Every structure is written in structure tokens, then in C-alpha cells.
């Protein structure tokens, strides 16, 4: 948020609560998953100012990326499947195969297209690396906004 020169607060309310906060004027803007803003945007109740991703979105191709607007920022939303430490490799393989099959199904790909999110399955190492990189990014953002809490009490 330093790049945009704005003050931020954390709205720990989930997407429905954040949408409500913006719609009722409690908050001026929000960063939210596109999937939670598509319907309100299409209804003319929200306006997407920028995509925080590296590329424009197919559902809203006229909305520029933050980088196109001059902000050195990129933060993609992602989902993944995690298992507890010690989970047998056989179980991990079964789950990974099932997730890949579901992610590449025609029904899921159609949902992704309509909701504006990309399907990009990653392997275990690639997803672990992505989590580490995104965690570092989010920590930097939270620290600059004064939202990072110390683990010690």
C-alpha cells in the first residue's frame, strides 16, 4: 500500500463483510478476490479500479493491472490443498491426482472462466515455493500497513 500512498485497515470480515463495508461507505475501497466481486461489479454496484495480478483478466479486460498504473505490485489469489506433516506419499499422490482431475474438468474450467480466475495446477514443490514467495509478499504489505503482529506476547 506504500506504493499507492494510502492508509489501510484490515477488514477481517470475509468477502461478504468487505463488500458490505464498501457498499455502505464504511471503507473507501478493498482488495478482494475477484470471485467475490464479479456479481456486484456486473450489477454496477462496485467498480474495479485495478487488477493486482501480472496480467489483465479475461472477464474484465478493460481493467488495467496495478503495474500498468505505475504501481510495482503483484498479488494473485490462489487456492491449494495441504495435508498434515507425515501424510504418506501414496495418500498425497491420490489427493493430487484427484485435485488435478477436478481442476481440469469441463465444469470447473467453465466456472473459472465465468468467475474470472485462472486454473493453474502446480506440483508439490512448485506450490510450496509459491506459498513461501507469497507469504513474504503479504508479510511486507502487512508490516508496511502496521498490521503485522508479533508472535511474542
Q: What digits encode the pLDDT tens for the residues 79-119?
A: 888 899 999 999 999 999 999 999 999 999 999 888 888 88
Where residue 65 sits, what CATH number does that domain have?
Answer: 3.40.190.10
| In a domain? residue 2 | yes
| In a domain? residue 9 | yes
Q: What percent of the chain has pLDDT over 70?
A: 93
Determine which of 24-33, 94-103, 133-142 has the lowest per-residue pLDDT on average: 133-142
pLDDT digits (tens, 9 = 90+) for 71-85: 887 877 788 888 999
- Is the separation of the CB atoms in 36 and 20 below 8 Å? no
| In a domain? residue 103 | no
In the chain, the largest separation of any two C-alpha atoms, in whole Å, equals 51
- Is the separation of the CB atoms in 77 and 117 below 8 Å? yes
Q: How many domains does the chain have?
A: 1
- Sign of the CA dihedral with 1 first, then 135, 105, and 36 last: negative
Domain interval for residue 46:
1-76
Compute the half-sphere exposure of residue 138: CA atoms within 13 Å on the CB side of its CA: 11
| In a domain? residue 137 | no
| In a domain? residue 153 | no
State how far the Cα of 8 lies from the Cα of 145, in Å rounded to an integer.
6
Asked if residue 153 has pLDDT above 60, the reply is no
Beta bridge partners of 65: 51
Amino acid at each position: 500500500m506504500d506504493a499507492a500512498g494510502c492508509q489501510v485497515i484490515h477488514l477481517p470480515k470475509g468477502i461478504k463483510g468487505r463488500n458490505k463495508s464498501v457498499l455502505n461507505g464504511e471503507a473507501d475501497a478493498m482488495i478482494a478476490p475477484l470471485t467475490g466481486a464479479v456479481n456486484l461489479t456486473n450489477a454496477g454496484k462496485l467498480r474495479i479500479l485495478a487488477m493486482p495480478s501480472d496480467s489483465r483478466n479475461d472477464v474484465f479486460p478493460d481493467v488495467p493491472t496495478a503495474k500498468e498504473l505505475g504501481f510495482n505490485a503483484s498479488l494473485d489469489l490462489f487456492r491449494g490443498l495441504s495435508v498434515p506433516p507425515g501424510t504418506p506419499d501414496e495418500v498425497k499422490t491420490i489427493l493430487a491426482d484427484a485435485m488435478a482431475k477436478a481442476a481440469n474438468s469441463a465444469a470447473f474450467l467453465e466456472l473459472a472462466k465465468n468467475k474470472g480466475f485462472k486454473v493453474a495446477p502446480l506440483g508439490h514443490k512448485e506450490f510450496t515455493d509459491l506459498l513461501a514467495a507469497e507469504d513474504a509478499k503479504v508479510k511486507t504489505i502487512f508490516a508496511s500497513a502496521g498490521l503485522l503482529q508479533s508472535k511474542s506476547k
